[in-house]
Structure 1
């Protein structure tokens, strides 16, 4: 007979097997989980926590972290216990905790990793040529330059964002509202977007924000340079809508930003997309990059330089360690490119704009 203490560890294995099986049926996940169950549970969570001015999810992490540390201290302070028995008990307790965590994580959000890919929903291709990328990058440069000129009236001046962070959270909803007129499945309701209480640790880890899967709060690093802030927040809002893929969240966040009626939000989106295209060229062909850079307004490049300097001042081994961890986490969750999946949204953009105007 199965010992009660072993039930949760055994259920962890059962959950892994079940999830592996249902991952072969993305259409079922899209229809039953992502477009039904998840819509209800995520909206309920945002209604429940969205009105609270601080991050409940961060607070929960603090509390859980405290109890984990206390548990570790209590378990290992008495070394007189039978080592074999002690390690067996500890292992079962750890697996029990992981079992509950795994269940809630996938029930409340992470099953979305296995839904129908966005390129299929939008009926766009996955592959593109260097010529396609070059054509798109040039068009993007023209558009970003245009928006930049309309804001600052001087090619050499960088954009200084005039809005407070809380206003960005409210204004981003307008971008999603405009986007949902074309794609109803991007409709965003019941706002729950917050500045993270752990923004400094997030910065050292190299993260601009994250979605708390247990409270469905979009957490944004409030230390970010402001031109980056709107599209980062829009990215986390895309996660709230159930788009777990980082490349898809980047793409949706970009679309929501450029559909905003305000030029500053459009600039955030276009400059964000252009930066990823330039990174792509740095990998593909640096000579092409060198030819493209002089065609970009100096003020835009100054904004890029500000962002780079911001992240460089917080670079430590901590960031390296967490990025290795997160890279493997993404690979375990249907994103085989790991952290490189963030850049894969260039694939979506290039192919999307084969039929749409930049």
Structure 2
């Protein structure tokens, strides 16, 4: 009996080790970058992601469904056993608690090894050479105006309907190509292997949760909501691929997605990346000066305004308690992983956009 107890508690040890390793990574970003992010992580990503990459469907989706079913079966079995057994109920409860701790411990350990430490690596700005500093309201207004003008120009090259498409697989390929092209400028993004973004069958559930994409480190898959307006999907694909190459901070993943999309020749990808950047930039401007934000919005063509309205209406239809619950969970997750702003960290992309604008201005 004593050996049985020790075996159960043995599976809690990996979780403790993962916690200690995370604290070390937090205090030693140079070690995290050079030893883990640039050396160990790429190997782990290739090994773990290889088999899932061989199939076109999302392995993540099926694993999650199986996990939920397994949990439900375990709960039903445990409750039934608790009711039937009268003499050893305390032992059943004890075993159940230790089993849950063991499962959580192993999940946390694998998460830490397969991506968690990347939250404590150097920032992407260490590779761009940009200086993140205070920017004026005028600079923010100029950024929004520039993005608005580019959106209008690119939109003229696209068909009227960019909300639906059967070319998910095509843009999955293009998103990987875009990341590989971007790696020419930023070698830290270079990878010998990419797992192509995959569509999720239960995308409407993702929409109900306000989720457009998910990187799942246990399969190294970039899972994408295929039900959203299609023109937003390329930016989501490259965002999740940025996570796949080891940049876990949401603002940096957004910025990398913007850079990858805007540098390619495909107009839809350009438009997708610019739309992502403009949405965050105009929201930031609207917070400090609604009048200037409205002035910039008036520069948008009727078609661009319609696209933005279509996207807003799409998610408005899904807003509800599950949406709010999912947002709170994501907020807690991000704060627990070195992103103190929580979901607001997505919007910190604007700081990177402003830094890029200043860098280009200085270069000229």
Output the TM-score relative to the length of structure 1: 0.93
Is the CA contact (8 Å cut-off) linking 2:12 and 2:106 kept in structure 1?
A: no
Equivalent-residue separation in structure 1 for 2:122 and 2:310 (angstroms): 37
Deviations 1:309-352 (A, max 9, x none): 11111112011111101101100001001001111111111102
1:171 equivalent in structure 2: 174
2:260 equivalent in structure 1: 256
Equivalent-residue separation in structure 1 for 2:181 and 2:14 (angstroms): 44
1:344 equivalent in structure 2: 348
1:66 equivalent in structure 2: 69
2:112 equivalent in structure 1: 106
Is the CA contact (8 Å cut-off) linking 1:271 and 1:300 kept in structure 2?
A: no
Equivalent-residue separation in structure 2 for 1:191 and 1:93 (angstroms): 33
Equivalent-residue separation in structure 1 for 2:360 and 2:151 (angstroms): 16
Is the CA contact (8 Å cut-off) linking 2:231 and 2:272 kept in structure 1?
A: yes
Equivalent-residue separation in structure 2 for 1:144 and 1:107 (angstroms): 40
The SS at the match of 2:222 is strand
Is the CA contact (8 Å cut-off) linking 1:158 and 1:299 kept in structure 2?
A: no
* 1:217 to 2:224 alignment: no
* 1:39 to 2:38 alignment: no
* 1:134 to 2:156 alignment: no
Q: Which consecutive segments of 4 or more residues in structure 1 shift more than 4 A? A: 80-83, 157-163
The SS at the match of 1:349 is helix
Equivalent-residue separation in structure 1 for 2:358 and 2:300 (angstroms): 22
Deviations 1:69-121 (A, max 9, x none): 11111112233545543332221111100010001111112211111111223
Q: Which of the residues 205, 209, 216 maps onto 1:205?
A: 209
The SS at the match of 2:359 is coil
The SS at the match of 1:210 is strand
* 1:88 to 2:88 alignment: no
* 1:305 to 2:312 alignment: no
Is the CA contact (8 Å cut-off) linking 1:148 and 1:159 kept in structure 2?
A: no
Equivalent-residue separation in structure 1 for 2:62 and 2:162 (angstroms): 34
The SS at the match of 1:227 is helix
How far apart are residue 159 of structure 1 and its match? 4.9
2:122 equivalent in structure 1: 116
Q: Which of the residues 11, 29, 33 maps onto 1:26?
A: 29
Moved more, 288-297 or 184-193: 184-193
Moved more, 172-181 or 208-217: 172-181
Q: Which of the residues 237, 241, 266 maps onto 1:233?
A: 237
1:267 equivalent in structure 2: 271
1:281 equivalent in structure 2: 285
Equivalent-residue separation in structure 2 for 1:56 and 1:23 (angstroms): 31
* 1:355 to 2:362 alignment: no
Deviations 1:124-168 (A, max 9, x none): 22232222211211121222222123436xxxx675676611111
Is the CA contact (8 Å cut-off) linking 2:14 and 2:106 kept in structure 1?
A: no
Equivalent-residue separation in structure 1 for 2:317 and 2:353 (angstroms): 31
Is the CA contact (8 Å cut-off) linking 1:50 and 1:191 kept in structure 2?
A: yes
Deviations 1:36-76 (A, max 9, x none): 11111112333322120111121111112111111111112
How far apart are residue 191 of structure 1 and its match? 3.3
Is the CA contact (8 Å cut-off) linking 1:169 and 1:193 kept in structure 2?
A: yes
How far apart are residue 14 of structure 1 and its match? 3.8
C-alpha change, 1:76 and 1:289, in structure 2 (3 Å) is same
Is the CA contact (8 Å cut-off) linking 2:25 and 2:117 kept in structure 1?
A: no
How far apart are residue 195 of structure 1 and its match? 0.5
Is the CA contact (8 Å cut-off) linking 2:49 and 2:219 kept in structure 1?
A: yes
Output the TM-score relative to the length of structure 2: 0.91
* 1:145 to 2:152 alignment: yes
The SS at the match of 2:360 is coil
